A = this chain, B = another copy of it.
Amino acid sequence: MYAVIMAGGSGTRFWPMSREKMPKQLLKIGGEDTLIQQTVDRVLPLIDRKSVFIVTNQGIAGDIERQLAERFGGSWAQNFIREPQAKNTAPALGLSAVHLNRIDPEGIMIVLSADHAIKNPGAFLSCLSAAAGAARQGYLVTLGIKPGRPETGYGYIKAGAACSEPGISGVFRVERFVEKPDRPTAEEYLRSGQYYWNSGMFVWKVSTFLEEVARHMPALNDGLREIQKAIGSGREADTIREVFSRLPSESVDYGIMEKTSRAAVVPADIGWSDVGSWTALEEVTEKDGQGNIITGNVINIGSTDSVIYADQRLVATIGLKDAVVVDTPDATLVCTKERAQDVKKVVDELKKRNAEEHVTHRTVYRPWGNYTVLEEGDRYKIKRIVVNPGAKLSHQLHHHRSEHWVVVTGTAWVTNGDREYDVHPNESTYIPISAKHRLENRGRIPLQIIEVQNGEYLGEDDIVRLDDDYNRHDQKKLSPLPELPK
């Protein structure tokens, strides 16, 4: 059995906590772990970690890898399937299936989303087992969530007769998929007991899925055959990129599930939430006695049924009702629950303004640690930089800025032109403009420095990398598919 976790989503609906470079799956929502960590953790009782694959784009793969290594140890570099560009779910799952087909065509492929929450992981694993039983008999099985409310934001699945093949129980044939309903229809669906939410989680045999691709999506099928031929050759990465560039964006629901005659559904009562907006937090987090979900340094006087999140600064709320307040170091959101979906419009406006606040947080994570922009002004920028023990930044130079470094904790090993030397806490050093330099932490505790940059241009792109432990010379190069477990 293999897990394929789709992790390409951008999650603008959780702005300002989520950003383009820090989407929802990387956030701690409904627990101490991030959603991607929770997702992997949930399947590990059933699936060996070598058989867990993350389908995602190059931009976010590094952050996911870091989070999985932090949570589960070891390296996860071999667990990634990288899409050269986002083309919806059908091409991503097609690429994943080709990948699995090389080693185990009869293997069971479990497709999961990286940014969903599930309260009852035991029931979830039981559903996967039931679905795997039907998948072995050639069904394309989807997990249908038992609706708890007349939700108009999801598509529904109508269940038909039970699958009667031997060894299958608790699985039903899909009578039909239905679009997002209006409210009266959704209420009828809820009453009938025959309709389930389409969760976007699937279980099928690799071979079954590829047969159905060949049957219903000929263009994708052609592309996948090309990729299959190129795998292992020098042309692999180029072929994948070239094929993806001409594939249409299509969902697996529309392209396969709604057309196949082999669709089945496992009714799943597992405490599922797609955590689709700030209001959905209620589905995954305990409320207090006044119906609030409050996190961080908050003074609340008499607010009810509200979501209040303070990252670092103080937030005071008085008399709010059904409100959402989210405070981050560079941006604050205040909205009514009713309008929480419109946070997308804020993100659109930020894009239009070319503003930074939808792209990154003030704290940016890097393979070697992180940095936080404390202040930017005319000709200067101040950062706090944390370098993890044993890590080093690239050997680099800047054309437009010089840098003063003051060490706060730990010891810095500094390369500055031809010189190499230690800088201890409460000592400083100066990196002139154009000097080749490198910052390294050879110690056992995190190295923390304050960097004051001076110069006429202070953009992050004024960096020439001469040597880098993390191969960041050419960010555009696509990695080949990972080595498969044999």
- Interface of A toward B, CB cutoff 8 Å: 16, 299, 301-302, 310, 313-320, 323, 325, 327, 329-336, 338-340, 342-343, 345-346, 349-350, 355, 357, 374-375, 377-380, 382, 384, 402, 404, 406, 408-409, 425-426, 428, 430, 448, 450, 452, 454
Contact = CB atoms under 8 A, between A and B. Distances in A.
B335 A332 contact: no
B319 A338 contact: yes
B428 A428 contact: yes
Given A408-B380, A428-B404, A452-B450, A315 B332 contact: yes
B346 A316 contact: yes
A319 B299 contact: no
A32 B380 CA distance: 28
B428 A408 contact: no
Contacts of A302: 339, 342
Contacts of A323: 334
A404 B343 CA distance: 42
Contacts of A426: 402, 454
Contact of A299 (B325, B346, B454): B346
Given A408-B454, A425-B454, A450-B380, A330 B342 contact: no
Nearest to A378: B409
Given A299-B349, A408-B380, A336 B320 contact: yes
Contact of A301 (B301, B317, B346): B346
A338 B321 CA distance: 12
Number of copies: 2
Nearest to A427: B430
A404 B406 contact: yes
Contacts of A349: 299, 301
Contacts of A377: 384, 408, 448
Contacts of A357: 314
A319 B301 contact: no
A450 to B, nearest CB: 5
Contact of A334 (B334, B374, B404): B334
Given A315-B332, A316-B343, 6 more contacts: A301-B349, A310-B332, A313-B329, A316-B335, A319-B338, A404-B404
B342 A319 contact: yes
A418 B395 CA distance: 40
A95 B338 CA distance: 57
Contacts of A331: 313-316
Contacts of A318: 333-336, 339-340, 342-343, 345-346
Nearest to A384: B375
Nearest to A353: B299
